[in-house]
Structure 1
Amino acid sequence: MPRILAIDYGAKRTGIAVTDELQLIASGLTTVDTPKLFTFLTDYFKKEKVIGVVVGEPKQMNGLPSESAGMIEKFVADFAVQFPEIEIIRIDERFTSKLAFNAMLTGGLKKKQRQDKGLIDEISATILLQDYLSQKK
């Protein structure tokens, strides 16, 4: 069965998570410098069969798009052109960064590790993907 990927897109860094082949469990994959994201994705898709990509929809508390929405919409449009065979799945990403930080605290990571913004992005992508898998059931 093909995998599902999640992307926590950011201006500088992008967190990436992926499911197992049975699409049951989300795991952090890596963090990529955003300018290198399409190169990374092209290489990854050559090695692994991916059927869909979950991308968060950044919203404010009132449900309106956040200030980063335009940047993410551009990424989604570019992704659709470059990888038309891969489904793009959009889900609300409110609180994922906060949940990621709390997961790091609960997991007992030291302060220096919790300051690793790349790790927060990767965990955020994992939470986004696990949320999608839970909704899909």
Structure 2
Amino acid sequence: MRFGRRLGLDYGSVRVGVAISDPHGVLATPYETLQLEVAIKELSRIVEVEEIIEIVLGLPKHLNGSEGTSADLVRAFAEDLRTCGVPIRFVDERSTTVSAAAQLRQSGRTSKTSKLIIDQATAVIILQGALDSEKNGRLPGEVLT
């Protein structure tokens, strides 16, 4: 397992959910939700302050595994993220928002209060999946080249 903090991102048309790992790459935790218009600037700051070694970005896919318009938007966002100066890894984010919503409901949150943190919760699921995959000896997803 590589040492260093990683960021997990859930890209949305309005907001970007952010999660961060511990330096040992064991646990993903919610970090914050950014408005899309300031996301690149804020993520650059977070990468520097938190000494991030990699960004894990959820890539939306259809159930059959193909990519659509949403994936194109995420890939364009990733191109802008290159300015952060760390590797960017795409991971399949199918069903992550549904899983996050279910977990929030189980924890007693209402739909109204969940709306404020759903993006962070989804980013946690994206990042934790990548960490678990790496823990099992497989680097997750695809690296932006």
Normalising by structure 1, report the TM-score.
0.91
Aligned match of 1:51: 53
User: Partner letter of residue 84 of structure 2?
Assistant: F
User: In structure 1, what is the Cα distance between the partners aligned to 2:92 and 2:111?
Assistant: 28
One of 23, 28, 38 as aligned partner of 1:21? 23
Question: Contact 2:43 / 2:84 at 8 angstroms: preserved in 1?
Answer: no
- For structure 1, list consecutive stretches of 5 or more residues without a partner in the other structure: none
User: In structure 2, what is the Cα distance between the partners aligned to 1:46 and 1:77?
Assistant: 18
User: In structure 1, what is the Cα distance between the partners aligned to 2:31 and 2:14?
Assistant: 17
User: In structure 2, what is the Cα distance between the partners aligned to 1:10 and 1:123?
Assistant: 13
Q: Provide the secondary structure at the position in 2 that maps to 1:102.
A: helix
Matched, 1:5 2:19: no
Matched, 1:83 2:84: yes
Tell me the alpha carbon deviations over residues 50-77 of structure 1, each in whole angstroms, 9 at most, x when there is no partner.
1000001110011111321111110111
Aligned match of 2:128: 130
Normalising by structure 2, report the TM-score.
0.87
Note the C-alpha offset of 1:91.
Answer: 0.8
Question: Contact 2:56 / 2:88 at 8 angstroms: preserved in 1?
Answer: yes
User: In structure 1, what is the Cα distance between the partners aligned to 2:48 and 2:64?
Assistant: 40
Matched, 1:62 2:60: no
Alignment: residue pair count: 133
- For structure 2, list consecutive stretches of 5 or more residues without a partner in the other structure: 136-145
User: In structure 2, what is the Cα distance between the partners aligned to 1:54 and 1:42?
Assistant: 14
1:79–1:111 Cα change, 3 Å: closer
RMSD between superposed Cα atoms in Å: 1.2
Of all paired residues, the percent bearing the same amino acid is 30
User: In structure 1, what is the Cα distance between the partners aligned to 2:78 and 2:49?
Assistant: 22
